[in-house]
Structure 1
């Protein structure tokens, strides 16, 4: 696993600046984004359209993921330590135990 990265990608910068609506619109318009191994700690991601996003290896410590639909998001190797996850819909391939281990202990998520 790579270390979390502070990226120069303009789409990543939108997320870090809290411009979720603009991120969603630009993505819907076809703009690519690379969020693999992204350092998104403490980022408020509520209202993010996460469909088909690749967040593999992402560092989501203390991120606000409340209400997100992550059922079609690649979270392989991501860490959600101490994130806010109330109402978050995770993929069926992630067990409740796997999610809890990552949330409490910071382990990397593994799809089954």
Structure 2
């Protein structure tokens, strides 16, 4: 897991993840077909409600105690992500991810594993 950075000139740059999560700005840039690289990001404690997560790659990301309520992750890559202590009420996870795997990550901080 590395530090987020620029993958190529057309990629939305994340200078600081804490500064980055301004959902409206992020969602607008996503609508304008801006690509962003969120693999291995530290998103702990952030409010991600109303985040447009469709097609995002959050593999190996750390979502400890994040507010994920109502987020649709059905088309998001969460391989290796951890949701320890996160608020997940109403969150829609990928169908390949078992309830047991989500529970282990939520309660014990394990990285979620699934095959797609």
Q: What is the TM-score normalised by the length of structure 2?
A: 0.85
1:111 aligns with 2:114: yes
Structure 1 residues 94 and 88: CA distance shift in structure 2, 3 A: same
Question: For the Cα contact (< 8 Å) 1:67–1:87, is it kept in 2?
Answer: yes
* Deviation (angstroms), 1:20: 0.1
Following the alignment from structure 1 to structure 2, what is the Cα–Cα distance between the partners of residues 80 and 50? 15
Partner residue, 1:12: 14
* Deviation (angstroms), 1:14: 7.8
Following the alignment from structure 1 to structure 2, what is the Cα–Cα distance between the partners of residues 38 and 102? 16
* Deviation (angstroms), 1:16: 2.3
Question: For the Cα contact (< 8 Å) 1:15–1:23, is it kept in 2?
Answer: no
* Deviation (angstroms), 1:50: 0.2
Q: Which has the larger radius of gyration?
A: 2
Q: How many residues align?
A: 109
Q: What is the TM-score normalised by the length of structure 1?
A: 0.88
* Deviation (angstroms), 1:12: 3.5
Following the alignment from structure 1 to structure 2, what is the Cα–Cα distance between the partners of residues 70 and 13? 24
Partner residue, 1:85: 88
1:31 aligns with 2:31: no
1:52 aligns with 2:55: yes
Following the alignment from structure 2 to structure 1, what is the Cα–Cα distance between the partners of residues 13 and 71? 18
Q: Structure 1: 5+ residue runs without aligned partners?
A: none
Q: Structure 2: 5+ residue runs without aligned partners?
A: 7-11
Following the alignment from structure 2 to structure 1, what is the Cα–Cα distance between the partners of residues 54 and 22? 17
Q: What CA RMSD, in Å, does the superposition of the two structures yield over aligned residues? A: 1.8
Question: For the Cα contact (< 8 Å) 2:66–2:87, is it kept in 1?
Answer: yes
* Deviation (angstroms), 1:27: 1.1
Question: For the Cα contact (< 8 Å) 1:14–1:23, is it kept in 2?
Answer: no
